[in-house]
Structure 1
Amino acid sequence: MGEDAVGAPVLSDDPTLTEAATAIATGAVTSERLVQAALDSIASVNARTGWFVRVEAERALAQARECDRRRAAGERLGALHGVPLAHKDMFARAGAPMECGSPILRGHRPAHTATVLARLEAAGAVTLGALHMAEFALSPVGDNAHLGARPNPWNAAHVTGGSSSGSGAAVAARQVFAALGSDTGGSVRLPAACCGVTGLKPSLGKVPMDGVMPLASSLDCAGFLARSAGDCGQLLAVVTGEEDRAHESWHVAVPAPEALAPATDEVRTTVAAAAATLREAGCRLLAVPVPDFALAGRIAALVLGVEAAAEHERWLASRRAEYGVLTHRRISRGLTYSADDYAEALRVRARLRQEFLHTYFAVADALLLPTLPEPAPTIAEATEGTPEDVEARIGDFAYWTRAINLFGLPALALPAGFTSGGLPMGVQLIGPPDSDAALCRLGTRFQSVSDWHRCRPPSPVA
């Protein structure tokens, strides 16, 4: 932000969440103005993008005016005073619809508000509405058999990533400053990478999950998609109270980019460039072996299947016709595993986690990895064909992310470049347990010497 003639901060053309909050607090802009601008942007494109499944314009404007009134009276609600946000359609707010991308929950209105959402609003955030998501949060590309796949804001022919599809797209398109998403196998980080925004998947248990749709309880995390690592750190601090102690030096583990697999050449080049950026930012890079996530991925899939089948047992038979074919196929597969299979998976999980922590975090503060093995595919490539064809085609899409959920570790997805065709590319920084705030600080250092997070998609969306 610059300054006006009398020294007051002036809102930049493309502010981050923290910059917008500062501008509201100092009177450079009103919450009502920011909320109305966001609503206008949504109204201008949502008929063809569908990133929002519900817009609560009157409520949001009333919230914004109350924020402005209280500021004029000398009050401040908190760190997010007056900033417009929106959230994946799986975070409960008392009396409001929460449908989780499924006709099974059509018209469902929970009685209580999710703690994570309540804490954001208690800090002054204005909620604009609910965002598109994959059915029951089960598509890594963001497809929904009932609502369709949503267009990527950079190229409408391509997927947004999922399952927090609307969250990634709405933040990238500058319709909101940040959004809540969920991450059970990559569902914050995959849309962050596909849409060119920053996404934080917290440590398991870091963010309260009451009032959030469960999928697989030992893997589920609620996370944040925003324009910068600093914004993610601010949201984390609001929700958990956790802020990082300053680091004097950083040691980042980096596998040889040329050895990464599965990964396209553009992905390997992006990781190598991100490593160079971290070195420029003052980090010390440490050569480490490439993680083999094949077994961890299979264990994660088994755990997800068993836990999701337990969550959906009451509906799988009685309401089968209301599931998309692929969603039902993936959830019901969990019924085929035995108790012994699940117990053995948990034993292997513990061993793999310990080996991973020893290999990478005995020597380093963070590990640099790809977020995706390939750039965002087209919607046709990701959704057309038989369920078997689709599963086979997107089977590795979460290869680099799902193991991190299995281990319960925090991860920060960062924009890190573009393909030759103009699609965003990203990397992720993985940290040891409970290093969430530290990762945001490291991401801020990365973004202090790069500007990928400042890049905006073309407007309007084609």
Structure 2
Amino acid sequence: MSAPHELTLAEASGLIAARKLSPVELLEDCISRIEALDPRINAFVRQTSEEARIAAKEAETEIARTGPRSPLHGIPVGIKDIIDLAGHPTTCHSRLRLDHHAERDAAVVARLRKAGAVFPGKLATHEFAIGGPAFDLPFPPARNPWNPAHHPGGSSSGSGAAIAARMIPAALGTDTGGSVRHPASHCGIVGLKPTYELVPREGVFPLAFSLDHVGPLTRTTRDAALMMNIMAAGREDYTRHLNDGLRGLRIGFVRHFHERDQPAHPEMAAAIEAASALMENEGATVSNLILPPLGEFSSVNRVILVAEAAVVHEDWLRNRPEDYAGVTRRRLLPGLFLPAVDLMHAARHRTRLIAAVENAFRDVDLLLTASSMDPAALIDDIAEVERTYPRQARTPFNVTGHPAVTLMAGLSSGGLPLSIQLVAPLFAEALLLRAAHGFERAAPWKDMAPPLHG
């Protein structure tokens, strides 16, 4: 058997159910992995090992007596540190929240806990899920396991890094302009942004109320489906049609996002084209599809985001601005000076953009787009991080609320992950995961892992 930390969620779950692996063994191996690698990766801001050990032992005893409650019973799941975990601070990676104490679990954490998940720690984020990577905060920024000199993507940076480094099999992240899918893109894993409000946001520190989503980061699409079965409270079984494949699906390829609107790095563009060809080889019909320009989605997202974030941060911005990281302060302050007329124009245009995407699904089942336009930048090259950070096609689907998943699509010549994005109609996560699994199953890089050694 592989070392427990190398197992996917589904693999570990199957072995636990078959009494061939105990939750205690799995957790201890993950803790050893964290202790060996996290000094280089900085994925965790707080380890809760002793509490997790108690939960794992309880899971072991219960499973031996009555069997697992769910496929997540005894599985370690990391929590992005803007999501409440009862009894622990939710710092949001900020000195402004170091004294915070969560009295109860966030709603999504409560669902995972009820399913038997074990929580080994809180994971790094960009400050308040907007300011980063930054080096003037109480905690260092997370780094990319494929090359720790590079950015792991954000803002769910610790979640992406921890999964890719095989520290834990699954994690929670949040996504307001792409913050689950960005680290998935840069770390070579699966990041799913569900339909808006499918997963509850109670107990999650807000960035922008009408754009925020909570989603899973995992190694595989099957693992994402297992997480969603719990996170969406049994709305449907997202694993049921996973093996149906791509045959017969109509996919609209939004090429202009990465060809004209924001021309992608040549290696990223080639990976997206290769992904399209692979999907056709697997039986999908791929045709070009035109949406409004990427810049329109990005502008609407930015206006709404900074306005809604200003509501959350107004008091701190006026009274404690020096306590933010410089990059966080620069990104939040414009919201205090945004004319109301600009917000109203953005809100009106948002309805047109939603309609445009909805209309696209009259003719196709799914959309294929770029996720990131570039491989991960060097984390300490501030200018390059700032240049590449907004070069992405994830933001449109925060504006519209449609479910989207990012998948690995190869490696760059520098050994960094390349990626694609698939998008589905509202509440069609099962279809989205079916297509993603069909792609993943046929892809030659599905078993690739970062060259990290403990």
- The farther-off stretch of 327-336 and 276-285 is 276-285
d(CA) in 2 for partners of 1:18, 1:395: 32
Match of 2:450 among 439, 451, 457: 457
Aligned to 1:226: 218
2:10 equivalent to 1:18 = yes
Deviations along 1:145-172, one digit per CA (max 9) or x if unpaired, are 3133322100111100000010000000
Aligned to 1:282: 283
Q: Is the 8 A contact 1:253 1:286 kept in 2?
A: yes
CA change 1:41–1:14 in 2 (3 A) is closer
Q: Following the alignment from structure 2 to structure 1, what is the Cα–Cα distance between the partners of residues 101 and 288?
A: 51
* Counterpart position of 1:161: 153
2:71 to 79, 89, 92: 79
Partner letter of residue 179 of structure 2? S
Question: Structure 2, unaligned stretches of length 5 or more?
Answer: none
**1:395 Cα deviation after fit:** 5.4
String of CA shifts for 1:133-156, please: whole Å, max 9, x gaps. 1000014x6445313332210011
Contact 2:291-2:356 at 8 Å conserved across structures:
no
Amino acid corresponding to residue 144 of structure 2 in structure 1 = N
Do 1:135 and 1:144's aligned partners in 2 also have CA atoms closer than 8 Å?
Answer: no
Q: Structure 1 residues 396 and 11, CA, compared in 2 at 3 Å: closer, same or farther?
A: closer
Which letter maps to 2:326?
Answer: V
Q: How does 1:207-246 map to 2 (within 5 A)?
A: 207-240=199-232, 241=234, 242-244=236-238, 246=241
Q: Within 5 Å, give how 1:245-394 maps onto structure 2.
A: 246=241, 249-256=248-255, 259-260=259-260, 261-289=262-290, 292-358=293-359, 360-381=360-381, 383=382, 391=386, 393-394=387-388
Following superposition, the deviation at residue 97 of structure 1 comes to 1.4
Letter in 1 for 2:263: P
CA distance in 2 between counterparts of 1:239 and 1:162 reads 21
Bigger mean CA deviation after superposition, 222-231 or 235-244: 235-244
Equivalent position to 1:435, from 403, 414, 428: 428
| CA deviation vs aligned residue, 1:114-133 (integer Å, no higher than 9, x gap) | 11011111111111000111
Q: What is the aligned partner in structure 2 of residue 89 from structure 1?
A: 81
1:51–1:131 CA contact under 8 A, matched in 2: yes
In the alignment, is the contact (CA less than 8 A) between 1:252 and 1:368 conserved in 2? Answer: yes
Match of 1:396 in 2: 390
Superimposed CA distance per residue, residues 351-372 of structure 1 (whole angstroms, 9 cap, x where no aligned partner):
12212321x3111111111110
Amino acid at match of 2:405: L
1:14 Cα deviation (Å)? 3.6
Tell me if the contact between 2:254 and 2:368 (Cα under 8 Å) persists in the aligned partners. Answer: yes
Matches of 2:293 and 2:144, distance apart in 1 = 30
Q: Conserved in 1, the CA contact under 8 Å of 2:180 and 2:217?
A: yes
**Which position in structure 1 is the counterpart of 2:142?**
150
Q: Is the 8 Å Cα contact of residues 375 and 419 (structure 1) preserved in structure 2? A: yes
Mean Cα deviation higher: 163-172 or 310-319: 310-319
CA spacing shift, 1:256–1:86, aligned 2, 3 Å: closer
Contact 1:137 1:215 in 2 (8 A): yes
Map Cα deviations across residues 393-446 of structure 1 (whole Å, 9 max, x no partner): 24533x311121011111000011000111000101011111122211111111
The 3 A distance-change label for structure 1 pair 416 and 143 is: farther
User: Percent identical across equivalent pairs?
Assistant: 36
Preserved contact between residue 182 and residue 220 of structure 1 (Cα < 8 Å): yes
Kindly provide the CA deviation profile for residues 186-226 of structure 1, in whole angstroms up to 9, marking residues without a partner as x.
10001001000000011111100000110000000001100
Please give the alpha-carbon distance, in whole angstroms, between the structure 2 residues aligned to 1:448 and 1:12.
Answer: 22
What is the match of residue 4 of structure 1?
none
Letter in 2 for 1:185: G
Cα contact 1:142–1:160 (8 A) shared by 2: no
Which amino acid is 2:289 matched to? Answer: V
Deviation sequence 1:283-320 (CA, Å, 0-9, x none): 12122236511011011100000000001112111111
Shift of residue 75, structure 1, vs aligned partner: 3.5
Cα 1:202–1:403 change in 2 (3 A) is same
| SS state at 1:307 partner | helix
- CA distance in 1: counterparts of 2:66 and 2:165, whole angstroms: 33
Which region of structure 1 is more displaced relative to structure 2, 114-123 or 243-252?
243-252
Please, which runs of 5 or more residues in structure 1 have no aligned partner? 2-9
Aligned residue in 2 for 1:102: 94
Judge conservation of contact 1:135–1:145 (CA < 8 Å) in 2.
no
Counterpart of 1:145 in structure 2: which amino acid?
A: D
Deviation for aligned residue 1:239: 1.4
State the distance in 2 between where 1:278 and 1:11 align.
33
The 3-state SS of whatever aligns with 1:231 is: helix
- 1:7 is matched with none
Pair 12,129 (structure 1): closer, same or farther in 2 beyond 3 Å:
closer
Counterpart for residue 31 of structure 1: 23
CA separation in 1, counterparts of 2:444 and 2:6? 12
Q: Is the 8 A contact 2:43 2:161 kept in 1?
A: yes
TM-score normalised over the length of structure 2: 0.93
Shift of residue 15, structure 1, vs aligned partner? 2.4
1:226-262 CA-partner distances (Å, limit 9, x unpaired): 0111111111111111335646731111134883533
Q: CA deviation at 1:390?
A: 6.5
Alpha-carbon distance in 2 for matches of 1:317, 1:262: 39
SS at match of 2:367: strand
Measured after TM superposition, the shift of residue 79 of structure 1 is 2.0
**Distance between the aligned counterparts of 1:185 and 1:144, measured in 2?**
22
